[in-house]
Amino acid sequence: MILEMPEKVRLVFQEIKLASADDYEALSDIRAKFHTLMDDDPSLIKALYDVYFHCLRIALTHEADENIEETHAYKFIMLFSSPSTSMPGRAREGAFRVLIERHQEHKALLEVALTSADRLVSTVHSHMDTGNLGDIPTAMLELYCWHRPHNVQTPEIEAELHPMVLRLFRAFPAQKSLVLGEMLMNNSEGAVLVSDLLRFYALERRNLGEGPIPHIASNMLGHHAWKTDFLYVKSADILVLTLRDSKSWPPETVAAFVEKLILTPLAVQTTTQATEIARARDQVANAEQRIASKKYKSERWASAEDVKKHDIEFLEKYRKELALIESDFESWNEQRWKQAVRRVAVSAVTRKALKVSSQQLPLGSSEKIVALLRDALDYKNKPKTFPMPKAADNRFRDFGLKLLVIEELMYRRKILTPVFDIHEFAKEYEKREIDIESDGYEIIPEAKTYFQNLAIPDDLLYQVETLHQSSGIDGGSRFLDNLFPFWDPGAGDEVIKITNKAIDDLALLPNLKRLSGLENSKSGPKLLKALKDRGVQLLDEESA
């Protein structure tokens, strides 16, 4: 087979033999070379699929090839099927076209894989794989995701694959594939399929720490669950279906379910100081090793320097946690309980999931869940540092001008209090979970409402003599850090403009004498004249 490969494909294929199956960077470089070949010469896509099918037959049907060992075939299959956002669009379209053309052949080999006994194939493997035969059907199913263009849907093929996904986890329960779990959800019966999977691991495997279950539990209830994720949105429905007969389960099964599926994703599982010290030390050691050995490269989202800085920040966070666990385990426990309470308090979806779970579970098995719900209710009802102002408290017509006033009084002079902090506000806001890491790439609606409706007393407004609108050249305004946390003028984000509505607001600022940076709003002559008539001096941002 090697001699039949096009020369360019053969040279890269041979590189795989020399690379270790757990060398992520080396394999990523090889995968990028394959993508370049596919993009530069689409005719090579078919040749690569020929190699892929040949490697499948070596691993699954023991087809003989004296030039390709099974471990070499395994590495190519895993690499060819692995996730990548870097595959060029044209290459992806061509790859998926070939896969669909050979779907029946591929499906037949999947049947062979799903009916084969698990066995060791490679002693060396990536952290997400097992090195066993089960990795191969997992990769084969994932191929339908990773080689499919984002705008292409194949409902008929997906309907054929859904039963195979369930069969895969039953045949090879150690498989951790996150993608295949998500494939189950793209189905009208998604909640039923996920609950069937949970029941398999809970009742038949008696192991809820295995396979995809920790990931599913985290996406349902965890601190970083995405609010648009199917598992999060449908968490209550999934738990009702899963726990429908839990009152007849063995007590140890119920206890394991509560610990692994509910308390662990919320980080309030039962544990010991020794266990947590060992975990935290491993976490620190792994982070140190990664920083020491990683060859940092610029990514699409950050420079190499920023990527390393990000890793160092996480290392410091891990070290602080380890120090707290070692010195004051009780405080660490209190801290994680408070974080879980807040997580539940700000999410109606999670509160519903916990409530239905406590109702379905046998008496006496859900005390911790009930305590979380009780403390979350107390958290919601406690006085807030940043209660949401009422619309009636707002007297400004122009939001842009009001923000400059807030910048002057709240952030520069600190006489308008409390000084609004989006991170603290998000912690106590209970109508939805504000995730700054995902929500902060645009104006956060609740922060806008807070600033828009914030009452500013006359005695403070009378003290406003100077206002400044920043283009971002000086680092930007502090209010933007809290309104639009990842505002980036370099990426095209604009200032919040001051409009002609501000003319009516000038009466609220009788002592305003100077306004700089207004050119950033590209204001019209009407507003400029109104400012001039009131004797307000206008300065360019650079002159201020």
- Structural domain span for residue 64: 1-152
Evaluate if residue 84 carries a pLDDT over 70: no
Question: Does 75 map to a domain?
Answer: yes
The H or E element containing residue 514 is: strand 514-516
Residue 301 DSSP one-character state: S
H-assigned helices in 434-539: 436-439, 445-453, 458-461, 478-483, 502-505, 525-533
* pLDDT for residue 188: 77
Question: Does 176 map to a domain?
Answer: no
Question: Does 40 map to a domain?
Answer: yes
Cβ-based neighbours of 71, under 8 Å, separated by 6 or more: 21, 121, 122
Cβ-based neighbours of 445, under 8 Å, separated by 6 or more: none
Percent with pLDDT over 70 in the chain: 99
What CA–CA distance (Å, rounded) separates 14 from 35?
Answer: 16
Mean pLDDT of the 251-259 span? 98
Residue type, position 300, single letter = R
Question: Does 537 map to a domain?
Answer: yes
Mean pLDDT of the 80-105 span? 87
Domain boundary among 118, 152, 186: 152
Question: Does 32 map to a domain?
Answer: yes
Cβ-based neighbours of 70, under 8 Å, separated by 6 or more: 58, 59, 121
Taking a C-beta distance cutoff of 8 angstroms, is the pair 72, 20 a contact? no
Cβ-based neighbours of 323, under 8 Å, separated by 6 or more: none
Instruction: Find the range with the poorest average confidence among 156-165, 175-184, 450-459, 534-543.
Output: 175-184
Domain boundary among 152, 183, 212: 152
Beta strand extents in 155-260 (DSSP E only): none
Taking a C-beta distance cutoff of 8 angstroms, is the pair 350, 221 a contact? yes
pTM score of the predicted model: 0.77
Question: Does 237 map to a domain?
Answer: no
11-64 pLDDT, tens per residue?
999 999 999 988 888 888 898 898 889 989 999 999 999 999 999 999 999 998
417-471 pLDDT, tens per residue?
999 999 999 988 878 888 898 899 999 999 999 999 999 999 999 999 999 999 9
Evaluate if residue 85 carries a pLDDT over 60: no
Please provide the DSSP assignment of 393-460 as one string: G---S-HHHHHHHHIIIIIIS--SSSPP-HHHHHHH--SS---HHHHTTS--HHHHHHHHH----HHH
For the chain, the domain total comes to 2
Domain boundary among 106, 133, 152: 152
Evaluate if residue 159 carries a pLDDT over 70: yes
Question: Does 157 map to a domain?
Answer: no
Question: Does 204 map to a domain?
Answer: no
